[in-house]
Structure 1
Amino acid sequence: MTINPAIPFELPALFEGRHLINGAWMDSASGETFERRSPSHGHIVSRSALGQEAEAEAAIAAARTAFDSGVWSRASGKERATVLLKVADLIEQNVDRIALIETLESGKPISQSKGEVGGAADLWRYAASLARSTHGDSHNTLGADMMGVVLKEPIGVVSIITPWNFPFWILSQKLPFALAAGCTVVVKPSEMTPSTTLMLGELLVEAGLPAGVCNIVLGYGVPVGAVMSSHKAVDMVSFTGSTAVGKTISAAASGTLKKVALELGGKNPQVIFPDADLDAAADAVVFGVYFNVGQCCNSSSRIIVHEDIAQEFCDRVIALSRKVKFGDPLDPSTQVGAIVTAEHNAKIDTYVKQARASGATVALGGDRLTVEGLGDQFYQPTVITDVDPDMPIARDEVFGPVLSVMTFKTLDEAVALTNDSDYGLSAGVWSTDVHTCLEFARRAETGTVWTNTWMDGFPEVAFGGFKQSGQGREIGRYGFEEFLEVKSVVMRIGNTRSPWVPKD
């Protein structure tokens, strides 16, 4: 493994974060704040207002008032699209500034932060196109005196709760689509990565989004997220995070039967057949497990490789893993940065130690890592072989740079291992035989199947999971329609209705 030590760098000034409520930036009524310390550099990156019930209530009230006023919900598609396109341009003008804070708060490499922030502009542009192309249906075959029209209308006030691992990208998978639909929103970013959401809020104001349409409340899941999930004035909750928290949100939302969209955990396999391009597959596996330090719902944290090539393929993966550059996230050549918290680092290590104790082989890595000048909040690239499908490391979402290896003999067995999971977010298949790829893709119980690639995504293509990986979809037209209600309008033409009560 290549380790990039700390490089000389002038750190930015402390980012001071405040809530955005009804178009105004404000501190918490209590005056309380919380701080985020960089997992890679150890200094305090941001100090943010600590929201409570009062701030969540105020933000929801502002969103409700703005929605009911029609200032955004009844604006034309052209008007909405114009604002979204301005936001996309502003994002691209501010990539470096936003990406630096994201790297310092999250620990991810600066090159990946820049890709995440800059790439998010495309999501905003695609959402803008949907704002102008929304349409329903008409039914002209109901009889000479009847006409049916199906309308699509914004669902209302949406609570958006986002995680720490891709704070800018995941918000951009939700917010522009909700806004394109005509919804108003309340956003709560993770308390570990709050600042880039506020930076986006600044761009929304600059782009001319009306006050109250997008509100941002900072703080913790309890009480802020709890209020946002249960409040009767909220019509929908869109959440990305752990499956356990997703279940809590569903329970909180059930009291008002509001719509809930969840993008949750994954235990995603890449299945390698003997006829695959093994060099390309090995590179994709290494990318899939180490990208964003493995702290990714789409991480390919397990591979299912045909037994005839298992040793050869693992040797390739291990050789490539040794070349991956770990270390200072501010070094543009770094590929893998810091683990988000010391507690999460310890959790990853517990899974690895448990697997070893249960008989698995740690073929590479398997321990926490200290980087010169940056501390010990890093984890070694780790490959674990001889993994039994029932081991926790094969079933649970470890959320770190840890790869579990299992083998198969037949396609049926590969499919069975793929589907033997509580999760169903994504899967990959590697084979030069298109029939193998298509059969696997049709039988895999996952929301996305990649064939001979991994983690290629496009704004046009919906994303979401089966089973305990969530419900609903994000991005694409399907993701956009999550924020719409369907209304049927049945019209009688002329005074042709026969009376139900006979006339005297």
Structure 2
Amino acid sequence: MPHAANFLSPDLGDSRLAQRPSYRMVIDGRSVEAMSGRHIHRLSPGHAGAQVGSWPEAGAEDLDLAIGAARRAFDHGPWPRMSSAERSRIMFRVADGILARVDELALVESLEVGKPIAQARGEIAYCADLWAYAAGQARGMHGDSHNDIGDNRLGLVLREPVGVVGIITPWNFPFIIASERVPWAIGAGCTVVLKPSELTSGTSIMMAEIARDAGVPDGVFNVVTGYGDAAGQPLAEDPRTDMVAFTGSLRVGTRLAELAARQVKRVGLELGGKGPQIVFSDADLEAAADGVAYGVFHNAGQCCISGSRLIVHEDVRDALLERVLDISRKLPFGDPLNERTRFGPMISPAHLEKVETYVRAGEADGAELLTGGASESDKGHYFQPTVFSGVRPEMSIAREEIFGPVLSTLTFRNADEAVALANDSEFGLSATVWSSNLESAMQTIRRVRAGRCWVNSVIDGTPELPVGGYKKSGLGRELGRYGFDEYSQIKGIHVTLGKPQRWFEG
């Protein structure tokens, strides 16, 4: 196999694999088991079946308790009635608690998800920044007033929390995606029931424990663990929840939206992506090649904002691909606990098989496989860095979200063609433009229908900027000041000053 020399084999004797924590859910401020007594046992995707944790398998009774706790905490508890200054102080303590446990959280995230330990460490530290930003912004939320609607009239616009929010997060970035939502929801004064993926629940439980220790009141931040039908779907169906926020597949997101629509319940969705990376002929090819490789191989391609479609000007296609292939063939991948690793395994055997099926379909459709294309499944759920050329827009590898380390290359001759290729997708979550001409780059990115965009970088992030999708990539926005709008109700109040005009004089 062409990548065997760069594969970092898992060390099954690593002492860090000896930890097998057994977690409990957090409901109404208490750590509890599922009423059924059943547990889900997580095997490391990168270490040939080593068990790395277990958590309760929640059912309808557990969801009933969690939703009830969140409802009571919102309707009768202190959190929504606190001043923003009080909530902010507690949330800053959560950020400090995360920073104090970066190494511990990163190890759990690495073992459960399979992501490189160095990457996991950086992600956890970034999450502390997300909490701190939301804590600071929570004090800046405000409504509005209208003093010019008449001498005897005054208009007030109040911002109020939406209520009880069910948040369902996926397995690829469990700590980050929860940290992009929970702080904004509780910062707005809401209460939360978080349901993480049944594959990667450990750090979400730890987050709730940190929040509890920081002083978040009982019932404000609850975590239930289990499978989607039993532990996730009730968050959309139960009339006691006011909103459901889901990150995951288009199929499941559509189903949850249908369930929530029956009660006219607010829905936030971040769904699939097929991110284009447009590279113009005047781009810095060294920087672009590194960015293209990072964009598609980051987190083993298991990333909704992955830059999995390379749309490159025909004049520099060969020169750029030469650099991308050089990186792909040298990229150290494998053992997530190795500090040198750049990407680890697929999340599960089923997902590994799905990625391989797409690669075989690409070959059958006539795309040229330039490198990779095979698994290292005898050592874990690993798939080699893979690059295709000669891809046509109608191919499945150009249209469908593979969610793996697979790059599909298309070419263009002018900016109009590049934009048309970028927009030729049912998704619109992310996009990148590489060019040394800022005007050209900006004019291009303004025409691409995607919600999270970069110029001369990729998969960069900051708490200040909103994230979200166009088209079938989702509804709503997270982060920045816009993130609080997602979890707020806006109330207009018309105040009459003095004696109002009579409607009927009897």
TM-score by length of 1: 0.98
Structure-to-structure mapping, 1:335-414, within 5 angstroms: 335-370=342-377, 375-414=379-418
Question: Secondary structure at the residue paired with 1:476?
Answer: coil
C-alpha separation between the residues in 2 aligned to 1:379 and 1:138?
57
What amino acid does structure 2 have at the position aligned with 1:16? S
Q: Residues 184 and 213 of structure 1 are in contact (CA less than 8 Å); yes or no, is this contact kept in structure 2?
A: yes
Q: Distance in 1 between matches of 2:276 and 2:115?
A: 23
| Contact persistence 2:10–2:46 (CA under 8 A) | no
Give, in angstroms, the shift of residue 28 of structure 1.
1.3
Displacement of 1:20 after TM fit? 1.1
Matched with 1:65 is 72
CA deviation profile, 1:362-419 (whole Å, cap 9, x unmatched): 0001111257xxx141000000011010001000000000000000111110000000
The answer to whether the Cα contact below 8 Å between 1:368 and 1:376 also exists between their aligned partners in 2 is no
How many residues in Structure 1 have an aligned counterpart in Structure 2? 499
1:455 & 1:364 partners in 2: Cα distance? 23
Partner of 2:14: 9
Q: Deviations over 1:421-465 (max 9, x none)?
A: 000011111111122111111110000221111121110000001
**Match in the other structure for 2:502:** 499
Q: Deviations over 1:88-128 (max 9, x none)?
A: 00100001111111111111100111111111001001101
The within-5 A match list for 1:285-304 is 285-304=292-311
Q: Which is worse superposed, 59-68 or 427-436? A: 427-436
Does 1:474 find its partner at 2:501? no
CA contact 2:21–2:52 (8 Å) conserved in 1: yes
* Percent of aligned pairs with the same amino acid: 47
Q: In 2, Cα distance between the equivalents of 1:379 and 1:188? A: 29
Are 1:151 and 2:158 counterparts? yes
Q: Which amino acid aligns with 1:150?
A: V
Secondary structure in structure 2 of the residue aligned to 1:150:
strand
Conserved 8 A contact 1:188-1:217: yes
Q: Hey, what's the Cα distance between the residues in 2 that align with 1:30 and 1:431?
A: 57
Cα RMSD (Å): 1.0
* From 153, 168, 171, the counterpart of 1:161: 168
Is the CA contact 2:45–2:380 (under 8 Å) kept in the aligned structure 1? Answer: no
- After superposition, the C-alpha distances for 1:233-266 in whole angstroms (9 at most, x for unaligned) are 1001111111111101101111111100001110
Q: Distance in 2 between matches of 1:120 and 1:288?
A: 20
2:41 — aligned with what? Answer: 35
Q: Distance in 1 between matches of 2:377 and 2:425?
A: 33
Task: Give the match for residue 487 of structure 1.
Answer: 491
Shift of 1:81: 0.4
Instruction: Write the letter of the residue equivalent to 1:454.
Output: V
Within 1, Cα distance between the matches of 2:126 and 2:382? 26
Aligned with 2:454: secondary structure? Answer: strand
Following superposition of structure 1 onto structure 2, how do residues 208-247 of structure 1 map, counting pairs within 5 Å? 208-247=215-254
Q: How does 1:108-123 map to 2 (within 5 A)?
A: 108-123=115-130
TM-score, normalised via structure 2 length: 0.97
Amino acid paired to 2:32: M
Decide whether aligned partners of structure 1 residues 96 and 152 sit closer, same or farther in structure 2, where only a CA change above 3 A counts. Answer: same
Does the aligned pair in 1 maintain the 2:387–2:408 contact within 8 Å? yes
Aligned residue identity for 2:31: W
Alpha-carbon distance between aligned partners in 2 of 1:13 and 1:391, rounded to the nearest angstrom? 44
Deviations 1:36-68, CA, capped at 9 Å, x for gaps: 111111211112111001111110011000000
- 5+ long unaligned stretches in structure 2: none
Q: Aligned partners of 2:70 and 2:298: how far apart in 1?
A: 36
Q: Give, as a single letter, the amino acid of the residue that structure 1 aligns with 2:500.
A: R
Return the alpha-carbon distance in structure 2 between the equivalents of residues 263 and 315 of structure 1: 34
CA distance in 2, matches of 1:376, 1:36: 14
Which residue does the alignment assign to 1:458? 462
Q: What displacement does 1:308 show?
A: 1.2
Counterpart code for 1:458:
T
2:369 partner letter: V
Q: Deviations over 1:123-149 (max 9, x none)?
A: 001101121111110000011111110
Asked if the contact 2:466/2:478 (under 8 Å) is kept, the reply is yes
Determine the structure 2 residue equivalent to 1:327: 334
Kept after mapping to 2: 8 A contact 1:38/1:107: yes
Partner Cα separation in structure 2 for residue 450 and residue 481 of structure 1:
23
Counterpart pick for 1:444 among 441, 448, 454: 448
Counterpart code for 1:208: G
Q: Check the 8 A contact 1:274/1:431 in 2, yes or no.
A: yes
Structure 1 12/202 Cα, relative in aligned 2: closer, same or farther at 3 Å? farther
1:126-182 Cα shifts (integer Å, max 9, x gaps): 101121111110000011111110000000000000000000000000000001000
In the aligned structure 2, how far is the partner of 1:6 from the partner of 1:145? 75
Query: In structure 1, how many angstroms separate the alpha carbons of the residues matched to 2:110 and 2:147?
Result: 55
Match of 2:30?
24
Aligned equivalents of 1:9 and 1:215: distance in 2?
A: 33
The letter for the 1-side match of 2:138 is A
Paired residue secondary structure (2:222): strand
CA contact (8 A) 2:358 2:402 kept: yes
Unaligned runs of 5+ in 1: none
- Residue 357 of structure 1 deviates from its aligned partner by 0.9
* 3-state SS of 1:462 partner: coil
Shift of 1:12: 4.1
Q: Runs in 1 of length 4+ with deviation above 6 angstroms?
A: none
Say if 2:281 is the partner of 1:274: yes
2:99 to 82, 89, 92: 92
> Following the alignment from structure 2 to structure 1, what is the Cα–Cα distance between the partners of residues 467 and 444?
19
Deviation at 1:5, TM superposition (A): 2.0
SS at match of 1:390: coil
| TM superposition shift of 1:70 | 4.1
Instruction: Name the counterpart of 1:77.
Output: 84
CA distance in 2, matches of 1:192, 1:376: 16
Q: CA shift at 1:342, angstroms?
A: 0.5
